[in-house]
């Protein structure tokens, strides 16, 4: 396959960026999208040009490092799929593909397709943990949890923190991410001790980082590679009101 690429190139934070045309030759349909970019970059390096910067780590859909807009869609056209798991067989020979970074005020650009997502780290630092001693693995196994609750907690915990939900949202809201991180702890016995403090601190941090509010567009759920349900947001709102009521007792 021969693929025409229009790639956002930006040398650094605060610099002016632009779409630059490249041609990826001899692309195998079995290549992953990132492998195709690796080949393009090898060609650029051989010519003495600057390689296209993009994030990746595990390349198997579990770390959340990868992600950019492919023809305007975070992680590209396949539902429930990170860009590292997307394959070139999904595209046609001769197709033109536009690559851009996540665009949100709270994710400032670093270079090319790489943005600074440390705002997510600061939301986790605000409360996405348990600081009580919950014992070792055997103690965790000794605490009986209803299967339905364990499943719902696991579904929320599946969020990999990629930021696609923010990129898809017209408000650049990160509440799908924040709610998933709050709920997976709020559902489990180990998360009860700090439950009220956690939700208030994490929601306040979310707002302070410059992410927008939720207006129930549903774009976040549609593009999430881990198919995190939008019902997490409703549950987070209930958690927040519960914390407010306890504080006003
Ligand atoms: S909720 Fe989904 S899209 Fe948002 S950060 Fe988590 S895995 Fe990525
Ligand atoms: S590189 Fe880890 S999820 Fe894509």
Number of Cβ within 10 Å of residue 167's Cβ equals 25
Distance of CA 1 to CAs 17, 96, 98, 120, Å?
28, 12, 17, 37
63 lines ligand 2 (CB under 6 A): yes
Which H or E run includes 109?
A: strand 109-111
Q: What is the pLDDT of residues 174-202, one digit of tens each?
A: 999 999 999 999 999 989 999 999 999 99
Pocket test for ligand 2, best of 33, 35, 54, 62 (most atoms within 8 A of CB): 62
Tell me how far the alpha carbon of residue 220 lies from the centroid of ligand 1, in angstroms: 8
- pTM to 2 decimals? 0.95
226 lines ligand 1 (CB under 6 A): yes
**pLDDT for res 12:** 96
* Phi, psi for residue 8 in degrees, rounded to 5: -70, 115
Q: What is the pLDDT of residues 117-128, one digit of tens each?
A: 999 999 999 999
Q: What is the pLDDT of residues 201-247, one digit of tens each?
A: 999 999 999 999 999 999 999 999 999 999 999 999 999 999 999 87
């Amino acid at each position: 396959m021969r693929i025409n690429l229009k790639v956002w190139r930006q040398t650094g934070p605060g610099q002016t960026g632009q779409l630059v045309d490249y041609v990826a030759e001899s692309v195998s349909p079995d290549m992953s999208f990132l492998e195709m970019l690796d080949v393009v970059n090898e060609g650029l390096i051989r010519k003495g040009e600057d390689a296209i910067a993009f994030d990746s780590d595990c390349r198997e859909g579990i770390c959340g490092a990868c992600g950019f807009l492919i023809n305007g869609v975070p992680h590209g056209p396949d539902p429930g799929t990170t860009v590292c798991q997307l394959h070139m067989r999904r595209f046609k020979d001769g197709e033109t593909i536009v690559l851009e970074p996540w665009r949100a005020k709270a994710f400032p650009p670093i270079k090319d397709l790489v943005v600074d997502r440390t705002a997510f780290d600061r939301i986790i630092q605000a409360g996405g943990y348990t600081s009580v001693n919950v014992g070792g693995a055997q103690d965790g196994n000794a605490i009986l949890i209803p299967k339905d609750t364990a499943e719902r907690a696991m579904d929320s915990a599946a969020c990999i923190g990629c930021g696609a939900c923010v990129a898809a949202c017209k408000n650049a809201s990160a509440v799908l991410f924040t709610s998933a991180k709050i709920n997976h702890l709020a559902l489990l016995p180990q998360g009860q001790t700090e439950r009220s403090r956690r939700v208030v601190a994490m929601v306040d941090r979310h707002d302070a980082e410059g992410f927008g509010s939720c207006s129930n567009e549903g774009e976040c759920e549609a593009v999430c590679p881990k198919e995190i349900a939008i019902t997490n947001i409703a549950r987070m709102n209930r958690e927040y009101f519960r914390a407010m009521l306890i504080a006003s007792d």
